[in-house]
């Protein structure tokens, strides 16, 4: 191939949600899991000790101290867990100008080139870890960089161009 293949378009919120689903291995991120799963027991234990000390200083009997501190600890742990789980789902996808500027992806024998606005990035074929073709998009996993998604919408009704583009990219990465 002596010429290049190019496609361009603008990502939508739907495309970015698809990108997030493709790149994440789970439904929530690692930070939310850490705060929700690891620190919730610590919060629970701290609240239990605090409640027990307060109940003891108020002169409550031992059984009542344990019941109250256990209930407060359980509620604190559950609340902490639910707060961070909820916050993890509220994060919107998008890393900058993806929704406001057109993206042009060009493939040549030498590299894959991505241009968004005034910025152009060239990725050598050895810098691409894998290609995932799925209904509606082509995902390019780049070594040391963010994943690139190329929606089928960008090809319009030109199925032959989409197939040629996808076949060329997958043939270059499948070395």
- Give me the residues paired with residue 116 across strands: 103, 119
**What is the structure's pLDDT at 66?**
93
**What is the structure's pLDDT at 152?**
92
Handedness of CA 35, 39, 43, 46 (dihedral sign): negative
**What is the structure's pLDDT at 59?**
94
**What is the structure's pLDDT at 111?**
92
Residue 14: CATH number of its domain:
2.30.29
Same domain, 81 and 57: yes
| pTM tops 0.85 | no
Q: φ, ψ for residue 111 (rounded to 5)?
A: -165, 175
Q: How far apart are CA 95 and CA 17, in angstroms?
A: 12
Per-residue pLDDT of the chain (175 residues; tens, 9 = 90+): 556 788 888 877 787 777 767 766 555 666 666 767 778 788 888 999 999 999 999 999 999 999 999 999 999 888 887 877 776 665 455 556 777 788 899 999 999 999 988 999 999 999 999 999 989 999 999 988 888 889 999 999 999 999 999 999 999 886 5
Q: pLDDT tens digits for 58-76? A: 999 999 999 999 999 999 8
- Give me the residues paired with residue 64 across strands: none
Same domain, 169 and 101: yes
Same domain, 84 and 120: no
For residue 34 the two structure tokens come to: 């850490």
Q: How far apart are CA 100 and CA 83, in angstroms?
A: 31
Q: How far apart are CA 105 and CA 96, in angstroms?
A: 17
- Give me the residues paired with residue 114 across strands: 105, 121
Q: Are 140 and 128 in contact (CB under 8 A)?
A: yes
**What is the structure's pLDDT at 174?**
67
Q: How far apart are CA 86 and CA 32, in angstroms?
A: 9
Last residue of one domain, picked from the residues 65, 89, 113: 89
Q: Which domain holds residue 114?
A: 5-25+96-173
Number of domains in the chain: 2
């Amino acid at each position: 191939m002596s010429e290049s293949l190019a496609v361009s378009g603008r990502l939508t919120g739907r495309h970015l949600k698809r990108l997030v689903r493709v790149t994440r291995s789970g439904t929530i991120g690692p930070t939310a899991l850490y705060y929700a799963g690891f620190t919730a027991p610590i919060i629970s234990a701290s609240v239990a000790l605090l409640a027990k000390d307060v109940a003891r200083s108020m002169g409550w009997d031992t059984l009542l101290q344990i019941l109250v501190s256990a209930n407060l600890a359980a509620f604190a742990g559950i609340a902490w867990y639910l707060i961070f789980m909820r916050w993890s789902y509220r994060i919107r996808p998008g890393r900058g100008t993806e929704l406001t500027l057109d993206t042009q992806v060009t493939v040549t024998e030498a590299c894959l080139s991505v241009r968004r606005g005034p910025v152009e990035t060239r990725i050598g074929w050895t810098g691409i870890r894998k290609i995932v073709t799925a209904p509606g998009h082509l995902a390019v996993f780049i070594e040391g960089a963010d994943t690139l998604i190329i929606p089928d919408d960008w090809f319009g009704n030109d199925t032959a161009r989409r197939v040629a583009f996808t076949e060329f990219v997958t043939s270059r990465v499948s070395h």
